[in-house]
């Protein structure tokens, strides 16, 4: 692809600016571990929210969202629940608040706060650190492969995909190492601005160039309907027959069954709280529990609406204008190519440089956020705890530099070796999370759960996640989730009940500080013996109601930009009404209560 000199200048200027930002913040970040990994807990919640959203605005995910909107139409709005995207609603309503009250640095350090000191906690720490490192290295490898493919199509120089990925990862690692979280957040705010500008521009191009009549001629019946029955009922015959094969391969034809399984998995994974990744790090970096909740809520607004302007814009442009290119691929349509093909065909000079800088931003933002997390576990939970507990803060920061480089190197090596990185990423976010869910649900809601239970639950969950694909090759990753969950749950209960309960003082401190609802009656009784004025958390019903309203609010944010792009007037009005009603309910029943607390 040939780029204009002006576009190339925009891209190079952007890359240089990110490096300068990293060096600018290097002094602030080098004071101590809190400064390096949590930016001294000094950043406003809305800045952290933009940073978190920027980290989620990844190139590969955007390509996938364009694919599902193209194939499934408005029903695709439900498919991101596979991840699940509504975990941000759970975090907003209560889990971010609970987590921030702990006032720790990492998820592994949180385990000491929850379970106290002892062999069980040590084992639990090891399992959490291993999980964090494995998932981080896997995602780095995934990013390495995915970005290399993307860059080799769009950027003008004849360089191999792996070299492209090495160059961009090297630049990103440089500013992450030098500036820590100060640098990561600052560059992510810059990156988010570029991505938002690009998203709005693509949305405007689609609105100007594509009419509702043009869209109606190239889509099957039901494409514009967000609701569904027992079956998907979306037939591309006579429009683009090969898309029917794609729907059959995905296995979504019995959509109601698939939806129920997706919702079941999503609720359980959401109840487990943030995984040990950049999402958890942003929550721990907020200045207060209240700001932690606000930050998670803000992520939904700043991420979903602008991103879906870009997704819907590219999708309708592809539907109307790129049918010959897609049909030429025959029965094996590579929908991942919609994004780069659309960019080549529809984005003018100048805006092209901004868009490519924005997509570079999306990759660098996700990569930087991921890279900045794992070294915290290596330094804080291994080096500081077991190897050199009395070192100076500057030594710990230097150790963080080496840990960051080591994690990146491991991920890149893995990316060179592995061919099917997409399947590995799917395994990490689905099967591996199946082994993570049970143990990390129980740690919040059940007083008798201990470090041994968490260790054995996550260990057997990991074994099940590794073994089931071989033992039951015909079972999909999503359908294997209940099996992995059951194995992990049994191990959690046996590991806890066959060992001693945690120290009573540790449990009371956790209960008083975090104030969770759930099965805490024996500990609540012990707390009342010392403080008869203590009030237990009675917000369970309110939190559940707010989660339901929040999920409706979030899906409204998702479909409204699509309605705007396809110019569906009645749906736009309904979407705005639903969005405003749910917003007002959350204002009264969540935000106002948050202010009071």
**Is 121 domain-assigned?**
no
Of 409, 467, 442, 431, the closest CA to residue 115 belongs to: 442
Cβ atoms 475, 426 nearer than 8 A: no
Which residues are within 8 A (CB) of 482 and not within 5 positions of it... i.e. 6 or more apart? Answer: 264
**Angle of CA points 361, 308, 363, to nearest 5°:** 20
Instruction: Give the domain range for residue 331.
Output: 5-114+135-228+274-418
**Is 394 domain-assigned?**
yes
Which residues are within 8 A (CB) of 241 and not within 5 positions of it... i.e. 6 or more apart? Answer: none
Give the 3-state DSSP-derived string for 155-211, with helices as H, strands as E and coil as C: CCCCCCHHHHHHHHHHHHHHHHHHHHHHHHHHHHHHHHHHHHHHHHHHHHHHHHHCC
Q: DSSP characters for 322-380? A: -HHHHHTTTT---GGGHHHHHHHHHPPTTHHHHHHHHHHHHHHHHHHHHHTTHHHHHII
**Is 590 domain-assigned?**
no
b/e per residue, 100-116, with b = 16+ CB within 10 A?
Answer: bbbebbbbbbbbbbbbb
b/e per residue, 521-538, with b = 16+ CB within 10 A?
Answer: eebbebbeeeeeeeeebe
CB atoms within 10 A of CB 418: 16
Cβ atoms 433, 267 nearer than 8 A: no
CA 416 from centroid of its chain's CA atoms: 24
**Is 181 domain-assigned?**
yes
**Is 427 domain-assigned?**
no
Chunked into runs of 10 residues, the chain (597 residues) has average pLDDT values of 75 76 61 56 84 76 86 93 90 95 79 90 84 76 70 70 76 64 70 84 93 93 90 85 80 85 90 79 88 94 92 93 78 72 79 76 65 72 81 79 80 68 55 79 96 93 78 73 90 96 94 95 94 92 97 97 96 96 97 79
Q: What are phi and psi of 222, to 5 degrees?
A: 90, -5
List residues bridging with 446 in a β-sheet: 519
**Is 315 domain-assigned?**
yes
Q: What are phi and psi of 473, to 5 degrees?
A: -65, -20
Q: DSSP characters for 203-243? A: HHHHHHH--HHHHHTTS-TTTT-----SS-----TTT-THH
Q: Which residue has the tokens 């191990």?
A: 491
CB atoms within 10 A of CB 117: 12
**Is 216 domain-assigned?**
yes
Cβ atoms 39, 285 nearer than 8 A: yes
Q: Which residue has the tokens 């990423």?
A: 425
Q: What is the structure's pLDDT at 31?
A: 57
Residue 178: burial class (beta carbons within 10 Å; 0-12, 13-18, 19+): buried
118 in helix, strand or coil?
coil
Q: What DSSP designation does 106 have?
A: S
> How many folded domains does the chain comprise?
1
How far is the C-alpha of 460 from the C-alpha of 210, rounded, in Å? Answer: 52
Q: What is the structure's pLDDT at 421?
A: 46
Residues in the chain: 597
b/e per residue, 71-90, with b = 16+ CB within 10 A?
Answer: bbbbbbbbbbbbbbbbbbbb
- Which pTM does this prediction carry? 0.85
**Angle of CA points 216, 217, 223, to nearest 5°:** 45
Q: What is the structure's pLDDT at 177?
A: 62
Of 246, 55, 53, 63, the closest CA to residue 150 belongs to: 63
**Is 194 domain-assigned?**
yes
């Amino acid at each position: 692809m040939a780029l204009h000199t002006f576009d190339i200048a925009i891209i190079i200027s952007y890359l240089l600016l990110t490096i300068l930002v990293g060096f600018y913040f290097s002094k602030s970040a080098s004071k101590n571990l809190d400064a390096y990994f949590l930016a001294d807990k000094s950043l406003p919640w809305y800045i952290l929210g933009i940073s978190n959203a920027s980290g989620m605005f990844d190139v590969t995910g955007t390509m996938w969202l364009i694919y599902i909107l193209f194939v499934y139409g408005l029903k695709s709005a439900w498919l991101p629940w596979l991840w699940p995207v509504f975990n941000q609603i759970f975090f907003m309503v209560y889990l971010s608040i609970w987590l921030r009250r702990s006032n720790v640095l990492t998820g592994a350090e949180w385990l000491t706060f929850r379970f106290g000191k002892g062999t069980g906690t040590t084992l639990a720490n090891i399992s959490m650190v291993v999980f964090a490192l494995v998932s981080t290295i896997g995602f780095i490898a995934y990013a390495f492969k995915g970005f290399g493919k993307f860059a080799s199509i769009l950027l003008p120089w004849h360089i191999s995909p792996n070299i492209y990925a090495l160059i961009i990862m090297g630049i990103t690692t440089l500013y992450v190492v030098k500036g820590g979280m100060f640098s990561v957040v600052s560059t992510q705010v810059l990156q988010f601005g570029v991505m938002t500008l690009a998203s709005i521009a693509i949305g405007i191009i689609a609105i100007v160039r594509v009419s509702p009549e043009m869209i109606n001629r190239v889509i099957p019946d039901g494409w514009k309907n967000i609701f569904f029955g027992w079956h998907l009922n979306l037939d591309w015959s006579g429009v683009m027959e090969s898309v029917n094969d794609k729907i059959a391969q995905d296995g979504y034809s019995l959509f109601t069954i698939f939806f129920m399984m997706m919702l079941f998995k999503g609720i359980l994974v959401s109840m487990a709280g943030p995984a040990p990744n950049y999402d958890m790090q942003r929550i721990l970096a907020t200045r207060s529990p209240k700001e932690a909740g606000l930050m998670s809520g803000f992520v939904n607004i700043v991420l979903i609406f602008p991103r879906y302007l870009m997704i819907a814009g590219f999708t309708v442009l592809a539907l109307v204008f790129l049918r010959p290119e897609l049909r030429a691929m025959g029965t094996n349509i590579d929908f991942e190519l919609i994004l780069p093909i659309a960019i080549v065909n529809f984005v003018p000079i100048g805006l092209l440089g901004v868009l490519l800088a924005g997509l570079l931003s999306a990759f660098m933002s996700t990569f930087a956020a991921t890279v900045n997390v794992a070294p915290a576990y290596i330094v804080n939970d291994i080096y500081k705890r077991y190897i050199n507990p009395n070192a100076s803060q500057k030594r710990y920061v230097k150790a963080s530099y080496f840990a960051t480089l080591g994690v990146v190197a491991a991920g890149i090596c893995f990316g060179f070796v592995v061919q099917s990185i997409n399947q590995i990423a799917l395994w990490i976010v689905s099967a591996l999370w199946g082994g993570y869910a049970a143990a990390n649900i129980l740690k919040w809601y059940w007083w008798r759960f201990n470090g041994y239970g968490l260790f054995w639950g996550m260990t057997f969950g990991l074994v099940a996640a590794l073994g089931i694909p071989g033992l039951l090759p015909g079972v999909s990753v999503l359908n294997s989730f209940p099996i992995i969950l059951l194995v992990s749950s049994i191990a959690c209960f046996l590991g806890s009940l066959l060992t001693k309960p945690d120290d009573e003082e540790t449990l009371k401190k956790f209960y008083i500080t975090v104030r969770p609802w759930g099965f805490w009656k024996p500990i609540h009784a012990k707390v009342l013996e010392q403080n008869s004025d203590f009030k237990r958390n009675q917000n369970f019903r309110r939190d559940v109601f707010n989660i339901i309203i929040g999920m409706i609010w979030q899906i409204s944010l998702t479909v409204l930009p699509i309605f705007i792009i396809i110019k569906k007037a009645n749906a736009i009005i309904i979407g705005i009404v639903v969005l405003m009603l749910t917003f007002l309910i959350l204002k009264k029943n969540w935000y106002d209560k948050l202010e009071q607390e």
